[in-house]
Amino acid sequence: MLIVDTHAHLFSDDEAKYPPRKNPSRPPAGTGTLEKLTEQVERHEVRAATIVQVSGFYGFDNRYIRAVALQNPHWTAGICTLNPLDNGSPAMLRRFAREGSMRGLRSVPAPGNLLDHAGVRALWRAASEEGLPVNVLGSHDLESQIDRLLAEYPSLPVVLDHSLRLQAGNQMAETLSALERLSKHRHLYTKLSFIANGDSGCKDGWPCASMHRTVLRVIDLFGAERCAWGSHFPTEKYARPLSYGQHLDIFHDQLPLSQGARRQILGETARRLWFPELERRG
C-alpha cells in the first residue's frame, strides 16, 4: 500500500544558518529534524512526505524547507508559507514552483483573521496558475471566507489543514457543521491529522478510540478520495499522546475502514495532489 505523510514540520539544528523568528515555538530537542523524519518514514514504509513550513518557528522565511525539498525531491514536497501583505509573495511562489522546491502553498489569513483579502487572493491566483494546491490553516470561524474563495477558484485544489483544527471539546460540533457545509465543494480536500492534536486531541492514548467516531464522520462527509492522512510530525510536539508509528497504525489498522478507503486516505489522495510521479514508480 502506498503511504504518504501529508503533514510534517521540520526544524534545523543549525540556527545560525536558519535562524528562527523571535520567541519561536520549539519542539523537544532533537525531535523535529530531517534525520528523525527520515528514520520514521523508512521504518514505517512511508514513501513520501509533504514538509510544511512551520511559521511558528521560522515565520515567512522558507529557506530551510526549500533547501530540504531541493535536496530530497524523490520523497519530499515543500509547502511554503508566504506573507499575504508582501506584494512580492506571488512572484516568490512562482519562482519556488518553477525551480521545483515547492509543490504547494500554505495559506494563512492576513492580520485581523482575513482570508478574504487581496493579498491572499493574489497568492491563490499564483498557485492556481502554477498548478499548486493550496493548504488552508484556520478554524471553523473562517468558514464563510473559505466558502467565498472556493467559489472564486473552482478548479484549484484546496486542502484544509487539520480539518479546520478539529478537536475535542465544545467547538467540535461547530467545526463538524462547518466541514459538512464546505464539503459540497468538490475541489476541497481535508487532512486527517487532528486525532491527537496537542492538548485537544484524544485523552485516552493509543488507539484514540474517543476520536474514532469523529474521524469517521469527516471521512463520510468528504469521501475517502478527498481525505489524506498526516502525522503532524514531530508527534512529540504536535500529537503528544502518540508515537509516529501509533498515529499511522490508527489509520492503517485500527479504524473500521474498507481496504479501498485506506488506500485513498493513506496514499492515493496525496499522490494525486502532490506526488503524481509515484504512480509511475509503482
**How does pLDDT run across 138-165, given as a tens digit for each residue?**
999 999 999 999 999 999 999 999 999 9
State the average pLDDT for the chain. 96
pLDDT at 55 over 80: yes
Distances (CA, A) of 267 to 53, 64, 219, 226, 236: 21, 25, 15, 11, 23
Structural domains for the chain: 4-280 (3.20.20.140)
Taking Cα atoms as reference points, which of 32, 38, 126 lies closest to residue 82?
Answer: 126
- Band the pLDDT of 202: cuts 50, 70, 90: confident
**How does pLDDT run across 4-35, given as a tens digit for each residue?**
999 999 999 999 999 999 999 999 999 999 99
Please report the pLDDT score of residue 281 as a whole number: 43
Please report the pLDDT score of residue 169 as a whole number: 84
Distances (CA, A) of 228 to 184, 261, 268: 17, 10, 8
Q: Model-level pTM?
A: 0.96
Percent of the chain at pLDDT exceeding 90: 92
